[in-house]
Amino acid sequence: MTNSNITLLVGLGNPGEKYASTRHNIGFSFIDSFSIQTGFNLGESKFDSFFGTISKKNEKIIAIKPQTYMNNSGDSVKLVKDFYKIPPEQIIVVYDDLDLQVGQIRIKGDGSSGGHNGISSIIEKIGSDKFTRIRIGIGKPEEKSMTNKYVLSKFTKNESKIVNNINSLAEKIIYSIVFESISFAMNTFNSKIQ
């Protein structure tokens, strides 16, 4: 028996001050913004994550920031999914994307990991790729060999302003998916530079 009125919202990143505000942690900052905008506390530590819940219109949204490091994000997601019996289709994952410009958002319903280790871990652990993704552009380095260093670098001052603009839309984006539809959210937020 699955829970049809629970959505699991996952922001991907790495724990610790060292990684705060880096490109790879844009999922964490998005979830932080959502919690501030909606007024719920994300401070509880359980399921190997920072954890919080909010209820609205008979829907419960569970938000987590896995503390397992990016490559093992699926461990935390599986714990919450199994405990609350949440179907994959009611999971939303927010993460960074090298193939999108800073300021671009892509929302989609399923698909491959696209080489993202956090997404690969989730697909492997929950045994499904049928979850919603919110990909947020972080740009890419000029040299592919610089990718690892690049994703762990901080945004420039101008890029930070753009990222803040995206994060300011967190509540609208999540609620459009939960209370409208993925297609509505895609038509509203995809492609545009925020």
Q: Are 135 and 95 in contact (CB under 8 A)?
A: yes
81 vs 24, 39, 90, 118, 131, CA distance in Å? Answer: 23, 23, 10, 16, 12
Q: Which two tokens stand for residue 76?
A: 């935390």
Q: Annotated catalytic sites, by residue?
A: 24
Q: Are 76 and 64 in contact (CB under 8 A)?
A: yes
